[in-house]
Structure 1
């Protein structure tokens, strides 16, 4: 049930990602005469504020659980999309999207990222992969139905429907079913019960390995923590910088808006396979090795996008590759912090990570937009993204988990 509710939350959280917001970019800019930089600025402002509140949200989730936090966040994000039906000016758009991005990044991003790692240890990679399928399914389906509604009824109706879907699929399930950790229900991680834990022949994770559980004051003295933050910042800079501008990029190369959305949907669909691949890779080879490779491949993908607009078949081939590697970053990020630092204060640790992450997340769309507005091309931005990603890959490789025996 926890995996299912988390997957539903990730499904609707995709509404406030750049995959979906990029569908609104062209029709809204055409109606109001905004630049791409102005549109991206609203997302960036909300991301920065989300990072600020994540510092406080993480410890609260550790203490009280995610149910109330997710209920408030999904309620406000849904309301922001519904209210977009009535906006007439840039400041109104900024007000609504700032709230939505702040809740998405600062609350749901933190909460949904730590729920499954708190419930699973032995099966963590596979469990996170299954939960991440919801995110990729949302990234596939949501842009398609939003684009269809935009084509049939306009972007305002599409925004209202998107908001209602958020309420139905995430607000109510989170309030009813979400729980903090298995111990609150008298269970153990990986679905074990205390009775099973007494049977030494059963593979209960708590009995198989010494468990590490560090707080932020301990974690901040570990070099690996900062290396991982640096790497995550590079990949989120690229992720948001490329994704928000993906549809405009392909439309600039002669693709129709519907075809560009199909490319985006292909990328999101391949991410379902990517979540499973990288989840099993983490269980088999370890999160550090898997994330090192994945971060390097993200850089290659950013540079390869410059050629993907030349042919339709090449665009879809690139989308498959991009979906697989980009989903790896999301999946492995959830796993590696729990593997390195434990479950006990994962919300506090992730909240600080989110604060740094959202700075990069906010800069990505603006950097790409400024590059386009300045040079009438994404060349400088995408090549720069690739170089930054290679540095991030080196950071992951150099990180080392703390010694469990001395933690």
Structure 2
């Protein structure tokens, strides 16, 4: 009997929905955006707080320094807490702290209150959603495209830090600084709903393998003693040379970005007669180029020696900062626009290669080790944020600060070249050092110490 196929219905097309890892990465990016909006607002608050309360730049800089220091110190503990209680709980707690800190900042009338709510509460919340969080997401959910996803998540932080600055600056000028602070607090509350709905702690919770792997990975048991583990990893890493080189270069990274640019660029430009809204717009433009620079850096990190990338980034950043005092003027000219483009491409480009090196050297503890390197980043940022204000109050100019920080960047370039790659051995898909599920030639995966 001949089968009649003329009237047979065509087979339904198989729909391939995006892997759950991309949804987790997307909502993680939104959380990073929400927290990032608070990390560059300090420069917008300096003028209004001085005008309303008569506080000095150094006094306001103290609250900013505490914020930046806690931002960094919180990251490794937050990464360990994610292993203990899960990413979703920690992220929800962090967004709650950020939103509460923003709301309470609008009610401050004393400097100690500013230190407590902006310095401590906002610092703890934003620190929990720093790049150590991005490293945790990528380490759990991705085997392939790690460098690219790290670049995208880093760019998400940039979007939060810079892209909204002109709007927030305009809001502060026309409706007061309090409304400008409340806006990102409301955004954090909205993101909390999405985190609750879409985020999962581990691929096993969604019944799928990590992206790029055909092997299902069972969810590891909760790791007790999160604080002890974070400190134990620090003690072990501190016995190795690569940790100090990574921490040292990243401390200089923080000094030359958060510490000087994100905190003092707007008031420094205003010193030269530039309107605050124009200066904030330039920072936003830096953020636009941050996105391209960071995603491109993640792509390059998958294919190039991260040490050489870091050396190049720091050297070029140092040169650009040394020239900045000559470029500031009441009006925006072409050389200043070129500075914005160059600095924007380099600003956050250091993050993907630094995370990659931390994972190559320290394996599964790489996220926590990077968290400690990020603590050094923020300590460097906080120190320069404070000293920059002191220097401005004492000398009436930021010029010496730009030159000094540029010289530090040159030192960071040299430190990056001192790093040695771990000894080479074959890698398997998904191991530290793997690129898109395959080996990276000449790289290694053996951590400097076993997992704590």
Pick the TM interval, shorter chain. 0.7 to 0.9
1:283 paired residue number = 302
Determine if contact 1:16/1:100 at 8 Å carries over to the other structure: no
Displacement of 1:8 after TM fit?
Answer: 0.9
Match of 1:317 among 333, 338, 342: 338
After TM superposition, the structure 1 stretch with the greater mean CA deviation from structure 2, 178-187 or 267-276, is 178-187
For 2:175, which of 153, 156, 172 is the aligned residue? 153
Q: Distance in 2 between matches of 1:183 and 1:396?
A: 37
Is the contact made by 1:266 and 1:316 (CA closer than 8 Å) also made in structure 2? no
Query: Bigger radius of gyration, 1 or 2?
Result: 2
Other-structure match for 2:289: 270
Answer with 103-112 or 388-397: which moved more. Answer: 103-112
Alignment partner of 1:402 out of 422, 435, 444 = 422
Corresponding residue for 2:150?
128
Q: Which residue of 1 aligns with 2:409?
A: 389
RMSD over aligned Cα, in angstroms?
A: 2.4
- Number of residue-to-residue matches in the alignment: 387
2:246 and 2:254 map into 1 onto residues whose CA distance is 12
- Residues 3-402 of structure 1: matches in 2 within 5 Å? 3-18=25-40, 20-104=41-125, 106-109=127-130, 110-169=132-191, 171-182=192-203, 185-194=206-215, 219-239=237-257, 240-310=259-329, 312-313=332-333, 314-342=335-363, 344-402=364-422
| Kept in 2: contact 1:14–1:138 (CA 8 A) | yes
Q: CA deviation at 1:113?
A: 4.2
Distance between the aligned counterparts of 2:148 and 2:338, measured in 1? 26
- Work out the CA distance in 2 between the residues paired with 1:172 and 1:5: 10
Q: Which has the higher contact order (CA 8 A, sep 6+)?
A: 1
Q: After TM superposition, give the deviation of residue 105 of structure 1 in Å.
A: 5.0
| Maintained 8 Å contact 1:40/1:365 | yes
Distance in structure 2 (CA, Å) of the matches to 1:215 and 1:189: 25
Deviation at 1:230, TM superposition (A): 0.8
- Superposition TM-score, scaled by structure 1 size: 0.87
How far is the alpha carbon of 1:282 from its aligned partner?
Answer: 1.0
Name 1:209's counterpart in structure 2: none
1:399 positional shift: 0.8
Following superposition, the deviation at residue 184 of structure 1 comes to: 5.1
CA contact 1:235–1:389 (8 Å) conserved in 2: yes
Distance in structure 1 (CA, Å) of the matches to 2:424 and 2:193: 39
Query: How far apart are 1:48 and its partner, in Å?
Result: 2.8
Match in the other structure for 1:207: none
Contact 1:47 1:101 in 2 (8 A): no
Q: Deviation at 1:188?
A: 4.0
Post-superposition shift, 1:53? 4.1
Aligned residues of 1:146 and 1:162 also touching (Cα < 8 A): no
Q: CA deviation at 1:140?
A: 3.3
TM-score by length of 2: 0.79
CA distance in 2, matches of 1:182, 1:403: 31
Specify every segment of 5 or more residues in structure 2 that has no aligned partner in the other structure, as ranges. 1-22, 218-231, 426-445, 448-452
Q: 1:83 to 1:133 in 2, by over 3 A?
A: same
Cα separation, 2, equivalents of 1:12 and 1:83 = 17
Greater percentage in helix: 1
Q: 2: CA distance between counterparts of 1:55 and 1:327?
A: 19
Question: Which range moves more in the overlay, 95-104 or 359-368?
Answer: 95-104
